[in-house]
């Protein structure tokens, strides 16, 4: 199978030209490039800040730049715009969506709330601004357990990722979690057999998984955490080899930061097509033409911001997820 993260020689030369163009446009626009850990290698190379969803939300709040070029998927750019309405937030490819976020609508969530009037609503950040506006508090994979524990309500409607919701339930047994039937189409591609085979091939490797993976995969893991948490874990671990159950883009920085350690994916199918839509060419196009601006209407923005602000208050600055670029 073709490795989407590996480039041909001709691409590398072309990319150098694009990188120079991006540098010039960045200073002209007073822009910052923020990239999620699943981005293509060359996008992570040019990013000023990279990290997991929580770290990127925090970075969006702190930046002094006038323009934020968000290399990720739409809900991430939307969160940056909600938290920073005075900045121009650009998503280089408008079609870079999140199928998990599309598995819930505000109308369906309102109906669920009517069924459970006493429950608090926790929405994973992988959701639209309109769904966040219907929720009491947001969470990311790095703080979901902490967020749910912080609530006074005993019942919690957790949307839209059922696997993350199940994982939270296992960590917070004192609450009753009402799950939504959503899932990440990339993470569910890892199967129990893939992990077992990888363990057989790499007997000394530790297994690390993202909580969006199926519970049977999580059960085979030594450690479960967000993408940012993976960097912290690997750095402090004495192990030399790791099986990483999350999107393939993670391997770029894990390998760069830990040249003496080895990383393996349990399956080569761990590629999020939406994350990979962002290329250097589109980033240059975005900066040159100031496209595609992500804006949220004021009424939705205020309510969605309240859910994000509550999350950031629970997490606190010091506890922020691993972040590169600071
Ligand atoms: P992290 O917050 O762990 O980076 O996860 C983001 C995501 O979208 C996983 O699919």
In this predicted model, what pLDDT tens digit does every residue of 145-196 receive, in sequence order?
999 999 999 999 999 999 999 999 999 999 999 999 999 999 999 999 999 9
Residues found in the chain: 326
What is d(CA 94, CA 102) in angstroms, rounded to the nearest whole number? 15
Residue 315 domain flag = no
Q: Whose CA is nearest to atom 1 of ligand 1?
A: 52
Is residue 106 located within the same domain as residue 70?
no
Domain count, the chain: 3
pLDDT of residue 58: 85
pLDDT of residue 94: 97
Give the DSSP H or E segment for 281: helix 280-289
Ligand 1 centroid – CA 211 distance (Å): 9
Residue 312 domain flag = no
What is d(CA 91, CA 222) in angstroms, rounded to the nearest whole number? 35
Name the domain boundary from 179, 202, 226: 179
Q: Give pLDDT tens digits along the chain (326 positions).
A: 556 666 677 788 889 999 999 999 999 999 999 999 999 999 999 999 999 998 998 898 899 999 999 999 999 999 999 999 999 999 999 999 999 999 999 999 999 999 999 999 999 999 999 999 999 999 999 999 999 999 999 999 999 999 999 999 999 999 999 999 999 999 999 999 999 999 999 999 999 999 999 999 999 999 999 999 999 999 999 999 999 999 999 999 999 999 999 999 999 999 999 999 999 999 999 999 999 999 999 999 999 999 999 999 998 754 434 333 32
Q: Whose CA is nearest to atom 3 of ligand 1?
A: 226
Count of C-beta atoms within a 10 Å radius of residue 42? 21
Residue 62 domain flag = yes
Ligand 1 centroid – CA 100 distance (Å): 11
Residue 207 domain flag = yes
Ligand 1 centroid – CA 33 distance (Å): 18
Residues in CB range of 238: below 8 A, 6 or more apart:
none
- Here the CATH number for the domain that contains residue 140 is 3.40.50.10800
Is residue 83 located within the same domain as residue 105?
no
Is residue 11 located within the same domain as residue 92?
yes
Ligand 1 centroid – CA 73 distance (Å): 10
Q: Whose CA is nearest to atom 2 of ligand 1?
A: 53
Ligand 1 centroid – CA 251 distance (Å): 14
Q: Which of 147, 226, 308 to mutate to test the pocket of ligand 1 (most atoms within 8 A of CB)?
A: 226
Measure the CA angle with vertex 127, ends 310 and 64; round to 5°: 60
Residue 284 domain flag = yes
Residue 309 domain flag = no
- Label residues 54-79 b or e (16+ Cβ within 10 Å = b): bbbbbbbeebebebbbbbbbbbbbbb
Is residue 218 located within the same domain as residue 264?
yes
Which residue ranges have their beta carbon within 6 Å of ligand 1? 37, 52-53, 126, 140-142, 184, 210, 212, 226-227
Question: Could you read off the pLDDT of 126-152 as tens digits, one per residue?
Answer: 999 999 999 999 999 999 999 999 999
From first CA to last CA, the distance across the chain in angstroms is 36
What is d(CA 41, CA 233) in angstroms, rounded to the nearest whole number? 21
Is residue 146 located within the same domain as residue 166?
yes
Look up the domain containing 215 and give its range. 187-271
Residue identified by tokens 């919690």 is 156
pLDDT of residue 10: 76
Ligand 1 centroid – CA 141 distance (Å): 6
Residue 267 domain flag = yes
**Ligand 1 atom nearest to 186, measured from its CA:** 10
Indicate the pTM of the whole model: 0.94
What is d(CA 126, CA 273) in angstroms, rounded to the nearest whole number? 16
What is d(CA 56, CA 35) in angstroms, rounded to the nearest whole number? 8
pLDDT of residue 11: 80
């Amino acid at each position: 199978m073709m490795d989407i993260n590996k480039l041909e020689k001709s691409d590398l030369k072309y990319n150098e030209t694009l990188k120079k163009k991006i540098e010039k446009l960045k200073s002209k626009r007073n822009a910052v490039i923020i990239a999620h850990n699943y981005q293509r290698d060359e996008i992570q190379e040019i990013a000023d800040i990279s990290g997991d969803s929580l770290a990127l939300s925090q970075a969006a709040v702190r930046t002094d730049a006038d323009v934020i070029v968000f290399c990720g998927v739409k809900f991430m750019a939307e969160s940056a715009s909600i938290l920073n309405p005075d900045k121009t937030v650009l998503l280089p490819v408008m079609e870079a969506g999140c199928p998990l976020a599309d598995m819930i609508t505000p109308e369906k969530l309102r109906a669920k709330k009517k069924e459970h009037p006493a429950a608090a609503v926790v929405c994973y950040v992988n959701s639209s601004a309109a769904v966040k506006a219907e929720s009491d508090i947001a969470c990311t994979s790095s703080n979901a357990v902490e967020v749910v524990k912080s609530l006074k309500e005993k019942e919690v409607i957790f949307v839209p990722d059922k696997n993350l919701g199940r994982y939270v339930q296992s960590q917070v047994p004192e609450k009753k979690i009402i799950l939504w039937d959503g899932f990440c189409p990339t993470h569910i591609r890892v199967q129990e057999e893939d992990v077992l085979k990888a363990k057989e091939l790499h007997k000394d490797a530790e297994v690390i998984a993202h909580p969006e993976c199926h519970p049977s995969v999580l059960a085979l893991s030594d450690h479960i955490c967000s993408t940012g948490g993976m960097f912290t874990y690997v750095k402090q671990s004495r192990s030399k080899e790791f099986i990483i159950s999350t999107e393939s883009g993670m391997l770029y920085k894990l390998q760069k930061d830990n040249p003496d350690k080895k990383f393996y994916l349990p399956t080569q199918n761990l590629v999020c097509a939406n994350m990979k839509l962002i290329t250097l060419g589109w980033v240059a196009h975005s900066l040159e033409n100031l496209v595609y601006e992500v804006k949220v209407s004021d009424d939705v923005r205020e309510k969605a911001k309240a859910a994000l602000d509550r999350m950031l208050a629970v997490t606190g600055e010091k506890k922020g997820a691993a972040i590169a670029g600071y």
